[in-house]
Amino acid sequence: MTMFDVYDQFPALASSWHERSSCLDEDPEIFFAGGGVSRKAKKICQSCPVREQCLELGLRNDERFGIWGGLTRAERKALTKRSPT
């Protein structure tokens, strides 16, 4: 299974930008596991051309699990606490 398969199952996640994502051909499990696997996911996100859109999606949907835009849930939570509403 790849992220493309995930977008097929959950069309609300899909958008024009997802097709340019660095994770498109990756196993989505690495974005929803902890430890060393999270480091691998974050490394993929570092050079992703649509990282900002992915992070925005994760923040807007208050995603509780996974790496979104290169950030863990705790990192996203800290980011929203620092940002004005």
The amino acid at residue 78 is: A
Q: 7: pLDDT confidence band, cut at 50, 70 and 90?
A: low
Do 8 and 18 contact (CB within 8 A), yes or no? Answer: no
> Is 71 annotated to bind ligand?
no
pLDDT of residue 46: 95
**Model confidence over 31-58: pLDDT tens digits?**
988 777 788 999 999 999 999 999 998 9
> Is 67 annotated to bind ligand?
no
- Residue 3 scores a pLDDT above 90: no
Domain ranges of the chain: 3-82
Structure-block tokens of residue 31: 């974005």
pLDDT of residue 59: 92
pLDDT of residue 56: 92
> Is 45 annotated to bind ligand?
yes
How many other C-beta atoms can be found within 10 angstroms of the C-beta atom of residue 37?
Answer: 15
> Is 8 annotated to bind ligand?
no
- Residue 4 scores a pLDDT above 60: no
Task: Tell me what percent of the residues of the chain surpass a pLDDT of 90.
Answer: 44
pLDDT of residue 37: 79
